[in-house]
Structure 1
Amino acid sequence: MFAALNQALKQLVQTGHLTVIDAHGRSHVYGDESGRPAGFKIVNPRAPLKIMLDPDRYFGELYMAGDIDLTEGTIYDLLEILMKNMEQRPTPGAAKFFNQLRIGLKRLDQYNPVGKAKANVAHHYDLSGALYDLFLDRDRQYSCAYFETPESSLEDAQLAKKRHLAAKLNIKPGMKVLDIGSGWGGLGLYLAETCGAKVTGVTLSEEQHKMSMERARQRSVSNTVDFRLLDYRHLDEQFDRIVSVGMFEHVGVGHYKEFFQKCRTLLKDDGVAVLHSINRSDGPGATSAWIKKYIFPGGYIPALSEVLPHLEKNGLYVTDIEILRLHYAETLREWGKRFAANRHRAKAIYDERFCRMWEFYLAASETAFRYQGMNNFQIQFTRNQHALPMTRNYVLAEEERLRTIDSKSRRLKSVPAE
C-alpha cells in the first residue's frame, strides 16, 4: 500500500523538504527541498493504508501510537509542510468522501443537550489542572490572545484580549455582566476588578468552577463575582452585558437557534453582548474526526454564514464584527513552545501517548490557523440600535483608559512588599 501513499505524496508535496522512510527502510524524498526539513518513518506496515483511507482521523492516531515516528524536525514542521501544500490543492478522493460524510452527520454528532454538554466539557476541561499550568499564561486564558505587537508576550496578549473585549462591552460601574463559559475565571475577575462590573460566570467544568471560586475568594471579590456550575440555558435573570469567549464552539450547529434565543431573553433591552469564537472562513464544514474523538467531542467550529441568520431571526442587531487573523496561530505557537519545554512534566502526569496526542493537537491547530483558513470572529450584538454610540471611537477610548489602569496595576504588583 506504500506505493499509493508514495504517489499521493509526490502529487501533494511540491514545496518543502519531506523525507519518509517506508516499513522496509527505504528513504523517499518529496518537495523542492526548501525550508526546514521534516521526516517520519513508518513503523507499522498498515499505516499507509490508514493514511490513504482517512488521513484526517488516522494520521494523528498513528502518531499517538508510535506507528509513525519522527526522524527529522518536529511534529509541527511535518504538519506545516503537509498543510501548506494542501492549502492550494483539492482534498483527495477517499478523504473527501469521509469529510462529506462527516458534514452530513454533524447535527447528530453535535447534539448537545444539557447532560451531554456537561460530559463533553468534562472530557477536555476537567483534565489535571497541573497540565494547563504547563502551557497557558498565568491567568489561564485558554482562548485566542490578542497580539497588539509582534513583540507581545503571551501574558501581554491575553491581557490585551480581555481589555479589547471589555472595551467593546462598554461597561459602566455596577452593571450586571454574564460570562457564558467563564473558564478559570480570568475574564470575569478582570471585568469586576478593572471595570467595576457585577459578574456572573457560568461553566460546566467542575475543575474550572472550583478554581474560579477559589480565585474570587483569594482576591476578596466574592461579593461582586459569582461563579456558578450551571448550564446557561438554566438562567432566568437579565443582564446589562453578556460576553462569551471560546464557548460557542461547544454549542453545536443544531443548538444555535436555542443559544441566541436564550441570549435575547437574558439581555436587557439596552444591553450589549460580544461573542468570541473560532471561525471557518471557507463556509460550513465538519469537525476533524481526530479532534472530535480525542480532544473536543461534540464540538464544531462555525462559519459566519451559519451564525448570522440566527441573530437576524431572533431580532438581534449585529453592531460590529471583527475578524482576528493569525492571532490564534501565534497563541498556539506560544502554547506549543511552553508545552515542549515542560513535556517531561506532562509525561509524569499522564504518559507518552498523551504527550504525543497533546503536541499533535497544538501543532495541528496552529497549522490550521496559519494555512487552512481558520480564524476568530468577535460579533457584537444588541436588542436595539440605540444601545451604543454612533461610531466605534468609544472602543478605542475605553481601550486606552483600561490600558492605563492595567499598566498602573502591573507596576503596583511589581513593587516588592516592605
Structure 2
Amino acid sequence: AATWITAHMRHPSLLWAVISQELSWAGVSLDLHFHDRRGRLVAGEPGVLPPRVIVRADDPLLPLRILMNPSLAIGEAYVDGRLALEAGSLVELLELGTQATKQRADSPMAPLTEWLGQVVRPPNTIRRAARNARHHYDIPTEFYRLFLDRRMQYSCAYFPTGTEGLDEAQALKIAHIASKLALKPELSLLDIGCGWGALAIELAEKAGVRSTGLTLAPEQFAEAERQAEQSSARSRIAFQLADYRKWSGLYDRIVSVGMLEHVGKAGLPGYFRQLSRMLKPDGIALVHAIGCWDGRSGHNPWIDRYIFPGGYIPALSEVIEALEHSGLKLLDTEILRLHYAFTLAHWSARFEAQRD
C-alpha cells in the first residue's frame, strides 16, 4: 500500500484523472473544474460555457486526500489556503461537491463504509457529551451575536412566506412551537438543550408555563441565567447545567430544539425512552432537529472534527424506529427543509457583513 501511495503521489495527474471521472459520473464535470498552481485544468471537462466553479489547488497531495476523504480534504485545504476559488462561491462548491460525493453514497460499498464508521465511533457517554458541547458552545457569546437573531436562537427559523427577516422568523418559530405544544398557564415545561435560554424564557413570559432548561455548556448556562434575571417571569424560569440522561421529574410538556443531532445514532433509543419517562401520561413532547434523507449521510467527517464532535444527523426512519420502541406515540411530523435554507442564508449574510 505504501508503494502504491508513493507512486501515485509522484504522479498526481493519475489521481486527478480519477477525480475527473467521478465528477463526470456525478454530472458536474462541466460545472466544477480543478486547476493546478500553473492554471492548467486537471479535473473536469471543458465545455462551451465557462464552469460555475473553478478551484485552484496549490497542494500536490490534495487529489489523494480528496479521494480518501473528500469533505475533510476540501474543508481543510480551503481553511489552510491550499485551495482557492478562482470562480464561483463557496456555497456553489459545496453544492457541486455534495452532488459529486452522493455518487459514492450510492456505491455497493457504502453500507459497509457506514457500518464501519459507526463501529469505530466512540459512544456518546455523559463525560464525552459534556466535552463535545463545550467544544462548540463554550465560545464567547459575542461570537454568536455576530450572526444570530436578537433572541439568540441557534436553530431553524420559521418562514411562512420566505420573505420574513430573521428576527421575525425566529419569533414565528417560537409561536409555532407554542401552538404545537398547546400550552396553558402553569403547565410544567422541560427544555432539553435550551441554549442561551430564549425559548424557555419566552414560553414562560408569553404562555405562563413554568420552564426548566437544561444545557451542558457553561457559557450558555451563564447567559441563560443573565437573561432570566431580566425576565418578567423570573419566578417561573430555572436553568440547570445537566445532562438530560441524569435528569428526573415529570413534565406536562417537553421541548427539544436542535439537540437530537448531538445524541448520536446509538443514543436515539435511549433519548426517546428518557423523554417517555419524564413526560406525564397526558403530556406532549416536541422534538425539532436536522434530518437527512436517508441513513447513509448522517455523518460528515468535517463537521465531526471541527463543528459538532460526536454528532449524527438521523434519517426520519431512524427517528421513527427509536420513537416507536419508547412508548411515545407520534402525532405530528413537519418537514422544514426550505425554512432551514432561508435560516442559513440569513446567518451567512450576517456573518459575512461582520468580517473585518
TM-score norm. by structure 2 comes to 0.88
Matched, 1:47 2:59: no
| Aligned counterparts of 1:177 and 1:161: Cα–Cα separation in 2 | 17
Matched, 1:58 2:73: yes
What code does the residue aligned with 1:311 have? L
1:63 to 1:330, Cα distance in 2 relative to 1, 3 A? same
Residues 105 and 296, structure 2, Cα contact 8 Å, conserved in 1: no
1:276 alignment partner, one of 271, 276, 288: 288
Please give the residue correspondences for 1:116-265 in structure 2 after superposition, counting only pairs within 5 Å: 116-265=128-277
What code does the residue aligned with 1:262 have? Q
Q: Point out where structure 2 has 5 or more consecutive residues left out of the alignment.
A: 1-11
Point out the more displaced range, 140-149 or 11-20: 11-20
Q: Point out where structure 1 has 5 or more consecutive residues left out of the alignment.
A: 345-418
1:304 to 1:8, Cα distance in 2 relative to 1, 3 A? closer
TM-score norm. by structure 1 comes to 0.76
Residues 122 and 205, structure 1, Cα contact 8 Å, conserved in 2: yes
Q: How many angstroms does 1:16 deviate by?
A: 6.0
| Aligned counterparts of 1:221 and 1:109: Cα–Cα separation in 2 | 42
RMSD: 2.3
Q: How many angstroms does 1:52 deviate by?
A: 2.0
Residues 54 and 85, structure 2, Cα contact 8 Å, conserved in 1: yes
| Aligned counterparts of 2:50 and 2:232: Cα–Cα separation in 1 | 52
SS for the counterpart of 2:299 is coil
1:206 to 1:215, Cα distance in 2 relative to 1, 3 A? same
| Aligned counterparts of 1:140 and 1:70: Cα–Cα separation in 2 | 32
Q: Which residue of 2 aligns with 1:24?
A: 38
Matched, 1:83 2:93: no
What code does the residue aligned with 2:167 have? E
The structure whose RCO (Cα within 8 Å, separation 6+) is larger is: 1
What code does the residue aligned with 1:76 have? V
Q: Which residue of 1 aligns with 2:7?
A: none
Alpha-carbon displacement from aligned partner over 1:309-343 (angstroms, at most 9, x marks no partner): 22222221111111122211111111111111112
1:56 to 1:103, Cα distance in 2 relative to 1, 3 A? farther
Residues 249 and 277, structure 1, Cα contact 8 Å, conserved in 2: yes
1:275 to 1:107, Cα distance in 2 relative to 1, 3 A? farther
1:20 to 1:269, Cα distance in 2 relative to 1, 3 A? same
Residues 179 and 188, structure 1, Cα contact 8 Å, conserved in 2: yes
| Aligned counterparts of 2:325 and 2:47: Cα–Cα separation in 1 | 51
1:207 to 1:182, Cα distance in 2 relative to 1, 3 A? same
Aligned residues: 341
Residues 189 and 211, structure 2, Cα contact 8 Å, conserved in 1: yes
SS for the counterpart of 1:215 is helix
Point out the more displaced range, 272-281 or 238-247: 272-281
% identical equivalent positions: 40
Point out the more displaced range, 49-58 or 267-276: 49-58
Q: How many angstroms does 1:219 deviate by?
A: 2.1
